[in-house]
Amino acid sequence: MPYKPKRPCSHPGCPGLTGGRFCEEHTKEEARRYERYQRDPATRKRYGRHWQRIRDRYMSEQPLCEQCQKDGKLTRAEEVHHIIPLAKGGTNVAENLMSLCTGCHSMITAKEGGRWQRR
């Protein structure tokens, strides 16, 4: 099956071609910009070193995507999702966490109106 043609990087003035939105060089830069200027400071506090330890422990216990497993697929989990978001009173207890692949996490976040919600 042929690949989708590459397109120019969305970073102003970058001539690089990419399969996504930004080239490899500017993907990290865009993530840093988002963290610094668009993400709520209270959110940054909730996802510090303490969260990283919880996430790493949960991922070692549940290394496969739980949503894909329900669909009968075996996919390696890449992210940990809060079923009830921290902003809405959720906690970091194991019962409130799900290991998900990036695709499933993006789909759930979009349905809930997370990062991609229009303001």
| Residue 99 located in a structural domain | yes
The model carries a pTM of 0.60
Q: Which residues pair with 17 in a beta bridge?
A: 8
Does position 63 have pLDDT exceeding 80, yes or no? yes
Asked if the structure places residue 92 within a domain, the reply is yes
Domain count, the chain: 1
Residue 98 located in a structural domain: yes
pLDDT in tens, 16-60: 888 888 898 898 888 888 777 776 676 666 777 888 899 999 999
Phi, psi of 45 (to 5 degrees): -65, -35
Domain range for 69 is 48-112
Q: Quick check: is 117 in a domain?
A: no
pLDDT cut 70: percent of the chain above it: 87
- 93-99 long-range contacts (CB < 8 A, ≥24 apart) are 94/58, 94/61, 97/54, 97/58, 98/66, 98/67, 99/58, 99/59, 99/62, 99/63, 99/64, 99/65, 99/66
65/76 Cα distance (integer angstroms) = 6
pLDDT value of residue 5? 87
Is 67 inside any structural domain? Answer: yes
Residue at 42 is within a domain: no
